[in-house]
Amino acid sequence: MRYSLVVAGVLTVILASATAQNNPWIPLGGWRLIERLDDVQIVKVLRKSELMPAIFPPKPTWQPDDGDFFPASDVLLYRRMPTSTGQQQYYAYESYNIVLDDANIRRLFDPSGVGRFRIGRVEIAVYFPFAGFYTIQGFWTGSDDDLPPFPTSDPPNAYLRSNQGPHTLFVPQAGVWRLATDADQFNEVFTVQCGVLDASLDPQQRFNCYVGIQVEPPGAWVCGALPGTDLNLDYFLEYGSSGYEAYQLQGGVPATFALQLGGNATPSLYGRITIAGYTGSLEGKVATIRVKQGTQTRTYTATLAANGQYSVPIDLSGNIEVLAQVAPGLARKVNLSNVSGPVQQNFLDLTNGDVNGDNVVDDADLLQVLFNFGGSDSASDVNGDSTVDDADLLIVLFNFGSAGDSF
- Residue 66's Cβ-count burial label (10 Å; 0-12, 13-18, 19+) is exposed
* Cβ-defined contacts of 149-153 (< 8 Å, 24+): 149/100, 149/210, 149/237, 149/244, 150/195, 152/243, 152/244, 153/243
* Domain closes at, from 244, 265, 286: 265
Q: Which residues contact 86 (CB under 8 A, 6 or more apart)?
A: 39
Domain containing 282 equals: 268-398
Average confidence score pLDDT of the chain? 85
Q: Is residue 275 part of a domain?
A: yes
Q: Are residues 37 and 152 located together in one domain of the fold?
A: yes
Query: Span 244-260, mean pLDDT?
Result: 88
Same domain, 259 and 371: no
Q: Which amino acid is at 26?
A: I
Among 265, 280, 299, give the residue marking a domain's end.
Answer: 265
pLDDT at 274 over 80: yes
Same domain flag for 109 and 162: yes
Do 242 and 272 lie in one domain? The reply is no
Q: Are residues 37 and 65 in the same domain?
A: yes
Q: Residue 4: CB partners within 8 Å, gap ≥ 6? A: none
In a domain, 68, yes or no: yes
Q: Is residue 19 very low, low, confident or very high in pLDDT (cuts 50, 70, 90)? A: very low
**145 and 216 together in one domain:** yes
With b for 16 or more beta-carbon neighbours within 10 A and e for fewer, the 225-262 pattern comes to bbbbebbbbbbbbbbeeeebbbbbbeeebbbbbbbbbb
Domain boundary among 265, 284, 316: 265
Instruction: Give the pairing type, strands 60-61 and 232-233.
Output: antiparallel
Q: Is the pLDDT of residue 144 over 80?
A: no
Overall pTM > 0.85: no
Same domain, 256 and 295: no
Residue at 218 is within a domain: yes
Question: Phi and psi of 385, rounded to 5°?
Answer: -100, 10
Same domain, 388 and 287: yes
pLDDT of amino acid 44: 85
pLDDT band for position 72 (cuts 50, 70, 90): very low
What is the reported pLDDT for 15? 40
Sheet with 318-325, edge to edge strand ranges: 296-303, 286-293, 318-325, 332-339
Q: Please tell me whether residue 368 adopts helix, strand or coil conformation.
A: helix
| Contact between 274 and 82 (Cβ < 8 Å) | no
> Is the residue at 232 inside a domain?
yes
Interval 360-379: pLDDT, tens: 999 999 999 999 999 999 99
Bridge partners of 247, per DSSP, are 53, 236
For residue 201, being part of any structural domain is answered with yes
**Would 205 be classed as within a structural domain?**
yes
The string of pLDDT tens digits covering residues 149-200 is: 655 668 899 999 889 989 999 999 999 999 999 887 788 899 999 999 888 8
Query: pLDDT category, 202, cuts 50, 70, 90?
Result: confident
Question: Over the stretch 234-249, which tens digit does the pLDDT of each residue have?
Answer: 889 898 888 888 888 8
- Per-residue pLDDT at 285 exceeds 50: yes
Residue 317 lies in a domain: yes
pLDDT of residue 252: 81
Q: Is residue 15 part of a domain?
A: no
Percent of the chain with pLDDT over 70: 86
The tally of domains found in the chain comes to 2
| CA dist., res. 159 & res. 139, Å (int) | 6
Same domain, 234 and 293: no
What is d(CA 396, CA 241) in angstroms, rounded to the nearest whole number? Answer: 63
| pLDDT tens-digit series, residues 313-353 | 998 889 999 999 999 999 999 999 999 889 999 999 999 99
Which residue has better confidence, 58 or 147?
147
Task: Calculate the CA 242 to chain-centre distance.
Answer: 26
Are both 236 and 301 inside the same structural domain? no
State the pLDDT at residue 148: 60
CATH assignment at residue 337: 2.60.40.4130
Confidence of residue 58 (pLDDT cuts 50, 70, 90): low
- 181 and 237 co-located in one domain: yes
303 and 327, same domain (yes or no): yes
